[in-house]
Amino acid sequence: MNLPSINPTATEAWNKLQAHFSEIKEVHMMDLFKDDTKRVNKMNVSWNEFQVDYSKNRVTDKTISLLLQLAEEVGLKKAIELQFEGSKINKTEDRAVLHSALRDFDSMKPEVKKALQKMKKTSNAVIKGTWKGFTGKPITDIVNIGIGGSELGPKMVTNALKYYGNALKLHYVSNVDGDHVSETLKKLDRETTLFIIVSKSFTTQETMTNANVIKNWFLQGGSQLDIEKHFIAVSTNENAIIDFGISKYNIFPIWDWVGGRFSLWSSVGLSTCCAIGYDNFEELLRGAHEMDLHFRNEDFSENIPVILALLSVWYNNFFSSETEAIIPYTQYLEDFVPYLQQAIMESNGKSVDRNGSKVNYQTGTVVWGNVGANAQHAFFQLLHQGTKLVPIDFIGFSESLYQHKKQHDILKANFFSQSEALLQGTYKQNAPNEFRSFNGNKPSNTIFINSLTPKNLGSLIAIYEHKIFVQGIIWNIFSYDQWGVELGKKLTNQLLSTS
């Protein structure tokens, strides 16, 4: 079955939202809090170890009601079911979108179960030192060779969960810039390094260029026969992999119903699995699956991804906010924004709707940010006193992993105070002068989580995956292709063939 294809601007809810926007656009949130003492409790969702407060948004009960009506009118419920049921909702590529099936242990596909068992066996062997290099030494370093979704997701999760790591040292090579791979190789010993080449087609230009550079470097000390002890492939192109010299036993699958930017849950996450151990990797999957169930089954009014997506549409399409910031208050999530930039902007950066017509409204948002409190000393001046309206997601944690209570109390104080300062500004206060005066009324969500565990990270990532899906449904676009990337690749190859 096809996804609903409804122009959102033609819905009753959209027209009501436009009229409502003209009534509310100048209203200050401080007055909304004053008029409704129960606002915080009403605009708050508690789920597992998550507390999501969306009360600091330029919305009223009526706004939320109309946004929920919009979700109903565009057929969001039906679309969610079509995705989870495996319909080929990626119509332009004739594919299903089933990354959620990679973490559904209750009804797991046999091929996924088999791949996970292979990941468990391989990661255990590498971690325990029973996987030996060509001179009999155990593996000390792992290099993931991939680009885009073959690097951003695994790298983000590996670094986010390094607290749960082991003695293995992880490296990620993505850029075709020769200096990047050269700097990485300087740190490595051929005898103790395992390379994981991640490319669905095993033809990705950047990945295979780096793979061949690394292979030639390896052969300066090892033989062609030794490659099978030091190279693994995550791909579908078995012939090309075997031609490269990799053993067929070292091939891990990836399926066409898994998009690259949503593939960290699959064999693409093998580097992460080795870095944190299989049990922690499985916890990551289970955390994501619990959010899948919440997204699929919870009423939209209490549904975290749906609420976040609707708020994003509200600012993008009515307030004309072109960007949104994501600020995680933990250094562990320093790669979270770059990961989300691909997931969000490659998905929803579209200007043709599901009917094949040019859209006459804004679609994907520009996503940016950095970790707090560093970001406060960089670009927060613009957020507080600048002329741009930038909705923000603050992500914080109740507990520090190393139990540094004093430092973590300071971090949490910053986390809460920034959203409060954006809300209040100096509204109705006597500022010393105009240079110290700012209106506040800047919207934000706070996502507060008990601690950064593999399970909670899985849930957090899944929140944003489903937010992307909801936005795409509302904007009536296909979120799971990326044809805009292809032209640049084609022109690159043309230039290289004529040089």
Active site residues: 346, 377, 489
CA distance 461 to 326: 13
Asked if residue 184 lies in contact with residue 170, where contact means CB atoms within 8 angstroms, the answer is: no
How is 405-472 classified by DSSP, letter by letter?
A: HHHHHHHHHHHHHHHHHHHHTTTTS--SSGGG-------EEEEEES---HHHHHHHHHHHHHHHHHHH
Identify the helix (H) or strand (E) that includes residue 327.
strand 323-328
Residues in the chain: 499
Asked if residue 296 lies in contact with residue 284, where contact means CB atoms within 8 angstroms, the answer is: no
CA distance 328 to 456: 14
Exposure class string for 329-338: b at 16+ Cβ within 10 A, else e: bbebbebbbb
CA distance 405 to 378: 25
For residue 35, report the phi and psi dihedrals to the nearest 5 degrees: -80, -20
**394 - beta bridge partners?**
327, 446
